[in-house]
Amino acid sequence: MTPPPSRSPRRTLTRALTVAAAVTLVSGLGVVAATQANAAAGCRVAYSANSWSTGFTGNVTVTNLGDPITNGWTVAWAFAGNQTVTQGWNATITQSAKNVTAVSPTYANSLATNASATFGFNANYSGTNTNPTAFTLNGVACTGSTGPTTPPSSPSTPPSSPSTPPSSPPTSQPPAGAKVDNPYAGVAGYKNPEWQAKANAEPGGSRVANNPTAVWLDRIAAIEGTDGSSSNGSMGVRDHLDAALAQGAGYIQFVIYNLPGRDCAALASNGELGPNDLPRYKSEYIDPIAAIQADPKYAALRIINIVEIDSLPNLVTNTSGNAGGTAACDTMKANGGYVQGVGYALNKLGAIGNVYNYVDAAHHGWIGWDSNFLPTANILLQAAQASGSVNNVTGFIVNTANYSALKEQYFGIGTSVNGTSVRQSTWVDWNQYVDELTFAQSFRNQLVAVGFNSNIGMLIDTSRNGWGGSGRPTAASTSTDVNTFVNQSRIDRRIHAGNWCNQSGAGLGERPRANPETGIDAYVWVKPPGESDGSSSLIPNDEGKGFDRMCDPTYTGNARNGNSLSGALPNAPISGAWFSAQFQQLMANAYPAL
């Protein structure tokens, strides 16, 4: 993926004002189809408002506790103040004066007993944004329990004086799909059958094929699926979600990866959308994904989105004034396509009750310098604010599709050699971090400090950072020269930490698991092992993927990798295509060993 910049000083971005995000949940009742007049009726409604100065994002989850609804549902309520809905999703929302109705979309007219539906909206207000406290569903008042009810003549009106709703739904019966603190904990991950088939076809591949890996949505066609002739295979978003249900998986991971002007600093992972295609990104890419993920059929499945890798950090490090800065990154910084695109994705996907968004936060060899650390946290905050609320962000992921070692066992940032700090070595190059775990934990603290929620979690992609095999050091060097000491002691065996494409000598890392370290939600395999980072030479394709010399093993480098050899494997296909030689190498060099 995108290489790190040099460590030259960067312009510090001005910190944007933190969103005032107030989240409250209201317990109400009201669900049931208009069947027999004496049919048992009941529901639970969870309502949240993520507010800022003049607007807010509302999320509503309704859970049916009564008879099945088969011919469509309508949720209604009345605002207490001057709230005005401007946009809705996953329901058709209309407003007359203070009264609001949300009608089920045609693809989700049914609501079985104990099933939930989630929809959301954006709205404006001034003064006090008091939450509604009473709801109806199909004309039946929300009462809090099942049993015969009498529908009111109009949507229930909140009391004239503001009331303080409970801070969460009833603990005895939380709504289906209610968010948990760590979506990876206590449940099994989805095993992508397309990746499994490729892994199982390799000699020895069955040893790793049962690990959960992410599904990459790197173009619009991937949403519905392809004919199987491309590297992305034939399964679409709904196919994968259905397969996850069939497996009994507790979570599934998608990579949201199709920003306009995607990956402005690396040609191998460029995409199909041009720098000014933000409207297409919204309407043709994010909206359809959100519509599928919001299907109540999947409400019990934890859907995890890895949002737009290699995007926002580029705006800090790879624009003009930085070594190796590009005109493409200048364009994306100037037109706001990355910030607004990520903000839109977080808004639409974050409105779904069982969806969890983790935003890409690069890696230690990219933003581990003081000049990049805080500015990157601030640009991530700007994107979250563009979504309407930091609450749309569950956490962040580092080392996505990269090779940085999880832990350097034989030296740390505080190590000195003959009185010289390892920071002065050519490899560390004055960075504040030497591995991904210490970086992820520290960057989490920085993200909380700039305004993100204190319970955010971090993910680390360990799919290719094991660095096992015969080249792995077994003890610290005894050299008194700092460069020799670091080079003989380091787990990461790359020529330069800026090398990112199909690295020679890499191995599978820690297997996916939840809660491995403090502040870390999970180790994950987001980059499916065996899928290429980019082609070793120009290969024409219809996926918008270019040829980057960093994937050419003969390339002697640029300013961003210290003018070093690329360290790439030869004969690689385009990014995302299966690369058997790489997969075999990853298994041979796995750490822990297979």
Q: Is 87 exposed, middle or buried (0-12, 13-18, 19+ CB in 10 A)?
A: exposed
Q: Which of 67, 263, 461, 492 is catalytic?
A: 263
User: Tell me, what amino acid is at 493?
Assistant: R
pLDDT band at 227 (very low <50, low <70, confident <90, very high): low
Q: Which of 67, 277, 310, 429 is catalytic?
A: 310
User: Tell me, what amino acid is at 287?
Assistant: D
Determine which of 27-41, 251-265, 294-308, 521-535 has the lowest per-residue pLDDT on average: 27-41
405 and 463 together in one domain: yes
396 and 526 together in one domain: yes
125 and 202 together in one domain: no
| Cα–Cα distance measured from residue 563 to residue 75, given in angstroms and rounded to the nearest whole number | 61
User: Tell me, what amino acid is at 467?
Assistant: W
Domain membership flag for residue 525? yes
208 and 340 together in one domain: yes
Active-site residue flag, 227: no
Q: Is the pLDDT of residue 88 over 90?
A: no
Strands across the sheet containing 215-217: 215-217, 251-256, 302-307, 355-360, 395-398, 457-461, 520-524, 513-517
pLDDT band at 114 (very low <50, low <70, confident <90, very high): confident
577 and 430 together in one domain: yes
Beta bridge partners of 41: 147
Q: Is the pLDDT of residue 491 over 70?
A: yes
* Phi-psi category of residue 74: left, alpha or beta, with phi > 0 → left and psi -120 to 50 → alpha: beta
161 and 211 together in one domain: no
Determine which of 217-221, 269-273, 412-416, 524-528 has the lowest per-residue pLDDT on average: 269-273
Q: Is 527 annotated as a binding residue?
A: yes
Q: Which residue has the tokens 């397969």?
A: 243
149 and 204 together in one domain: no
Average pLDDT score over residue span 401-412: 97
Q: Which residue has the tokens 């011919």?
A: 71
Q: Which residue has the tokens 């995607």?
A: 262
Domain membership flag for residue 320? yes
Domain membership flag for residue 182? no
CATH code of the domain containing 360: 3.20.20.40
Residue (of 530, 541, 544, 526) closest to 572 by Cα position: 530
135 and 231 together in one domain: no
Percent of the chain past pLDDT 70, that is, above it, reads: 86
Q: Which residue has the tokens 């949403």?
A: 223
| Cα–Cα distance measured from residue 238 to residue 225, given in angstroms and rounded to the nearest whole number | 9
Q: Is 240 annotated as a binding residue?
A: no
Give me the chain's average pLDDT, please: 85
Beta bridge partners of 123: 56, 85
pLDDT at 31: 30
According to DSSP, residue 578 is labeled B
Average pLDDT score over residue span 540-549: 84
Number of domains in the chain: 2
102 and 236 together in one domain: no
Q: Is 496 annotated as a binding residue?
A: no
Q: Is the pLDDT of residue 153 over 90?
A: no
Greater pLDDT, 134 or 12: 134
Domain membership flag for residue 40? yes
Q: Is the pLDDT of residue 14 over 60?
A: no
Domain membership flag for residue 180? no
Chain segment 459-473, per-residue pLDDT in tens: 999 999 999 999 999
pLDDT at 347: 97
| Cα–Cα distance measured from residue 539 to residue 200, given in angstroms and rounded to the nearest whole number | 27
Beta-carbon contacts of 377 under 8 Å, excluding residues fewer than 6 positions away, are: 443, 446, 447, 449, 450
Active-site residue flag, 310: yes
| Cα–Cα distance measured from residue 420 to residue 255, given in angstroms and rounded to the nearest whole number | 42
pLDDT at 145: 57
Domain membership flag for residue 501? yes
523 and 447 together in one domain: yes
Beta-carbon contacts of 245 under 8 Å, excluding residues fewer than 6 positions away, are: 297, 298, 301
Query: What is the reported pTM?
Result: 0.71
120 and 217 together in one domain: no
Active-site residue flag, 263: yes
358 and 474 together in one domain: yes
CATH code of the domain containing 58: 2.60.40.290
Q: Which of 435, 492, 533, 552 is catalytic?
A: 533
pLDDT at 290: 98
Q: Which residue has the tokens 């299907």?
A: 295
For residue 388, give the 3-state DSSP assignment: coil
Which of 148, 166, 184 corresponds to the end of one domain? 166
| Chain centroid, CA 270 distance in Å | 19
DSSP secondary structure, 273-311, as one string: S-TT-HHHIIIIIIHHHHHHHT-GGGTTSEEEEEE-TTS
Buried b (16+ CB within 10 A) or exposed e, 195-225: bbebbeebeebeebbebbbbbbbbbbbbbeb
Domain membership flag for residue 139? yes
Q: Is 369 annotated as a binding residue?
A: no
User: Tell me, what amino acid is at 354?
Assistant: N
According to DSSP, residue 28 is labeled B
Q: Are 195 and 66 in contact (CB under 8 A)?
A: no
Beta bridge partners of 397: 360, 459
Chain segment 493-526, per-residue pLDDT in tens: 999 999 999 999 999 999 999 999 999 999 999 9
Q: Is 242 annotated as a binding residue?
A: no
Question: How much of the chain is helix, strand and coil, in % rounded to 5?
Answer: 25, 20, 60
Give the CA dihedral 269, 272, 275, 277, nearest 10 degrees.
-150
Supply the range of the domain harboring residue 86. Answer: 25-166
Domain membership flag for residue 243? yes
Q: Report the relative pairing of strands 416-417 and 420-421 from DSSP bridges.
A: antiparallel
Q: Is 227 annotated as a binding residue?
A: no
